[in-house]
Structure 1
Amino acid sequence: MSDRLLLSTRKGLIEWVREGGVWRRRGLHFLGDNVSYTLVDPRDGCWYAALNLGHFGCKLQRSTDQGSSWEEIAVPAYGADDRVGGGDGKPAEPASLKLLWTLAAGGADQPGRLWAGTIPGGLFRSDDRGQSWHLVRSLWERPERERWFGGGYDWPGIHSICVDPRDSTVIRVAVSCGGVWIGADDGQSWSLHCAGMRATYMPPELGEEGAIQDPHCMVQCAGSPDDLWVQHHNGVFRSSDGGLRWEEIEV
């Protein structure tokens, strides 16, 4: 178990350490700023903090010395021709970065690789520790994305990214609202897997449609990567086959 906890909040990044069996606050970074996500890269120890600064937009900060100093690095950016909208009847409009919702490190065999999930639904990849980002167009250009819509936010978003520890070219992402997707070949191809999930917020005839499912969070067991759990708008679901099929857990 780690002896350090980094807590992302709307008022900054709070650093806690455990000393002598007692947790104590050690530091406060970005005081007053909305920190939407913090990643500690297990490969090189770098910290990444995603900020949502309202009028000033989304920012990304990196620390190589455990928070003693920070440097601003690039954020993902959509192209001039990228558009979003349609799943809930909104007219399509130019896509722009609204939120850095999640970050994930690539595998040990992928030095510099980072993944970023965003609102309005784009998955981005970096191969240089966040110095530059590229939209994963193989997912962005899937026709099912036209069915995605926002679940709480105005636009859909990718909030969970699970890199398979056995094969870092396989990744799983969860979209609200857009279902669970499995990417193969380092994200070159994608398939939608929501069998067993249900969406009671939709008309009955659409309740099992994959592209409108609303997972809120997805996690993967590091020691048994075929086991995943999803906290969904309509319950908790578990998969024991790598996310191909899901069964509801009574809670």
Structure 2
Amino acid sequence: MVLLLLPLLAFALWWVSQKPSHQRDWAEDVSQLLRWEQRGSIVTLHQVRHFDWRSETDFTPRWETRQYDLDTLESADLVLSYWMGPHIAHTLVSFGFKDGRHLVFSLEIRKERGEAFSAVAGFFRQYESVLIASEEDDIIKTRTNARGEDVYLYRLAIPPEQLRTLFMAYLEKARDIEQHPQFYNTLTSNCTTIVVDIARHIAPGLPMDYRLLASGHFAEYAFDQGGLVAGYDFETLHRLGRITERAQTVSPTDNFSTRIREGLPTHAASAGFTETH
């Protein structure tokens, strides 16, 4: 029995000895922490990522400062990027403003320079977390164009008065990570669980579901909870929501955010509004 307990004790000691840190040689695309301040309805965000990606390894880095008026928030979109088959996807949320700008929030693994991701290692305190705020023609385009992932976009059915609550919840999460380094966990603290945790600010009764782990099915979970634009069945939203080909054919003179939303249902079909953006 003692021989069996010794390895468990050694693992437990190793586990508690692992401490998250912001002081490492980070990969360029996760090297900066999002910081922000607020004055009235105006929030100023520092270290918004706006890279120009030509390939996964060839890019021009830009970290910029942005100002947003919370009173002009008008939409939020769920983005799923499939990188490992139909059952696993990276989950992002993009907020839209009345001036046509969009800002994407994404919880990312904060890889060190030259480090590769392993889903198994993600269970064992091997990666820190970082919340990235990014322009769509960076964080979405790099997935469709540079990485060759398959990306879907769905309009979330969130009343305007609740958009501000969700947006600020992301900023508070960024501040929490800045002040308290945190480990990423493949199961309990990942790109999908953060979306659910933040959504519970306005819908505290969201149930647990296997699709929170099988993140490739998360959009269907959101649909079942009434979280996607109404008036369409899920198959239609899924079919129209695939933006991969549009993203890959955006010209340098096109507006990326406008182009990828062509043909997307953005209003309830039964409400008498225009159905596409």
TM (norm. structure 2) is 0.27
Of structures 1 and 2, the one with the larger relative CO (CA 8 A, separation 6+) is: 2
Larger of the two Rg values belongs to structure: 2
Higher percent of residues as strand: 1
Higher percent of residues as helix: 2
TM (norm. structure 1) is 0.29
